[in-house]
Amino acid sequence: MTQTHDTRRDVHQGFRRYHDGSIDFDFYRAQATALRNRAMQEAFRHAGAQLRTPFKRWWMRLVLLPGGR
């Protein structure tokens, strides 16, 4: 016995779609933009921490340690 397979439903499964069946590209575009912004923030935060470390040590030696003694 042959079983019918609804391919249209399988194609639509797993994507966010409008009521007319078209893909909601704005949703995925907004998601991609948010992920990109978050990745950029984390990259700059990491780079800033690496850049800040030598100045932090310099500041400790120059200003904070001699004044505390």
What per-residue confidence (pLDDT) applies to 66? 67
Counting every residue written for the chain, the total comes to: 69
Identify whether the C-beta of residue 16 lies closer than 8 Å to the C-beta of residue 31. Answer: no
Q: What are phi and psi of 47, to 5 degrees?
A: -65, -40
What per-residue confidence (pLDDT) applies to 31? 94
Cα(65)–Cα(27) distance, integer angstroms? 54
Give the pLDDT confidence of 2-55 residue by residue, as tens digits.
454 444 555 556 788 888 988 899 999 999 999 999 999 999 888 877 777 777
What per-residue confidence (pLDDT) applies to 8? 55
What per-residue confidence (pLDDT) applies to 14? 78
Identify whether the C-beta of residue 16 lies closer than 8 Å to the C-beta of residue 27. Answer: yes
Give the pLDDT confidence of 52-69 residue by residue, as tens digits.
777 777 777 777 776 554
Mapped onto helix, strand or coil, the DSSP state of residue 17 is strand
The full set of domain ranges for the chain reads 12-68
Q: Say what the pTM is.
A: 0.50
Cα(41)–Cα(35) distance, integer angstroms? 10
